[in-house]
Amino acid sequence: MRERAVQTVNDLVQRIARQAELPLPEAIPLPAQAYWDPGLYELELERIFRGDWVCIARVEQVPAAGDYLAVDLAAEPMMVVRGEDEEIRVFSRVCRHRYVDLLGGKTEDSQKERGCAEWFECPYHSWTYRLDGSLMNAPEMLDRPGFDQAAYGLRPIHQQIWQGFIFVNLDGLAEPLEMSGLERVLDKYDLANWRIATVVDWGETKVNWKIMVENYAECYHHIGIHKETLQPLWPIGTVELGDEQGDDWFFSRMKAGAETAAGEEDGHLLQPSWLPPQRDLSPYQRSQSLLMVKFPMFMIVPSPDITFWFKAIPTGPETHRLEVALLVPQEHFDLEGREDGVQEAADFFRTFQGEDASINEFVQSTTRSANASGGVLHRHEQAIWQLQKYLASRLSEAGSTTSR
């Protein structure tokens, strides 16, 4: 019987780096150990999820002054807050006094994830903070010798907003968020003028985050698990890999198939839609959906009428949480029949996501097998190869000094 060889984190990172150097025609999947190893996961948290840009929210989720949204990432409890000056800020939820979560304690369950507040009060010793993060009051502390009230505001989290999406960089050391490549591909799409119409909370799944991202980003599996759902809509034969890629992003064009096309214009088969398309999109743009990923986990599928945003957060070596928001153009919010169209789209999502979730769990369940090795990648799995390059670039330096 074959015995599974367990590698140190150093060896595992070096193996990923070697694979990332292979040309695409020779590309192979990640080592199976990369999908469950606790040491590698800790390294990913430090170097990727604390060191890179991660999308955590949309601006319309905190529409009014005092609105807040709680998010946890890489053991960092945060909250997105809109201030009285209408500015959006992201703060650590950890009280500056004795480290209590400001939304913990006796905070009502309904208020722990989102709500509206005039200020934030620590449930332990009642330190209170304004919406801009500054310390408003520290009971019986203001006369403490040398106590500087201005020095004990909530710690801000480095953040940037791109087309309505809020990104954070936890360690504050990342280069400015670079999205120009995706912007060129989006062309006339302006997602800053789109709004969340509904959210499907998929909950936590027993699947490593990389398995989820790999499955999302490749269309080769349309001919398998999605043969009755996505394959008729976007046949693998019509999917075009993007003609430009970046070191940390990938896209493909999923073009409508003849079986389900809603018509033809200027020689392009038009993609069926649940709502009217965004204004000013060309027939070419209305013939397809864009499958886009900015590593590690920013995943959007802009379509002429509805954009799907996959908000995934790793929760452990073999688990992640997933919410999927359906965005529609702002101009459609007063459209008659909008809610019905969005509901149909959400139901369709639940169908194919159920297929994805089940197959991903099957993959996860066999990654500890001694026989989980020796695979090869199809050209439509290019995103998996690019993910390996991303992982190698982020993990190799730290991996050289880390061991199990």
- pLDDT tens digits, one per residue of 184-231: 999 999 999 999 999 999 999 999 999 999 999 999 999 999 999 999
For residue 349, CA distances in Å to 32, 229, 237, 306 come to 28, 10, 22, 11
pLDDT at 358 over 80: yes
Pairing of strands 120-121, 128-129: antiparallel
Tokens 């996505």 locate to 230
Task: Write the DSSP string, 354-394.
Answer: HHHHHHHHHHHHTTTSTT-------GGGHHHHHHHHHHHHH
Residue type, 191: L
Q: What is the pTM of this model?
A: 0.94
Closest to 399 in 3D by CA, of 37, 72, 3, 21 = 37
Decide: residue 201, CB within 10 A, 0-12 exposed, 13-18 middle, 19+ buried: exposed
Average of pLDDT values for 225-246?
Answer: 92
Question: Phi and psi of 50, rounded to 5°?
Answer: -100, -25
List domains and CATH numbers for the chain: 54-160 (2.102.10.10), 190-366 (3.90.380.10)
Q: Note the pLDDT of residue 4.
A: 63
Indicate the pLDDT class of residue 90, thresholds 50, 70 and 90: very high
Q: Among 137-146, 231-240, 309-318, 341-350, which stretch is predicted with the lowest mean pLDDT? A: 137-146
Q: Report the distance separating Cα 330 and Cα 28, nearest Å.
A: 43
Positive or negative, the CA dihedral 236, 237, 238, 244 is: positive
Average of pLDDT values for 30-51?
Answer: 97
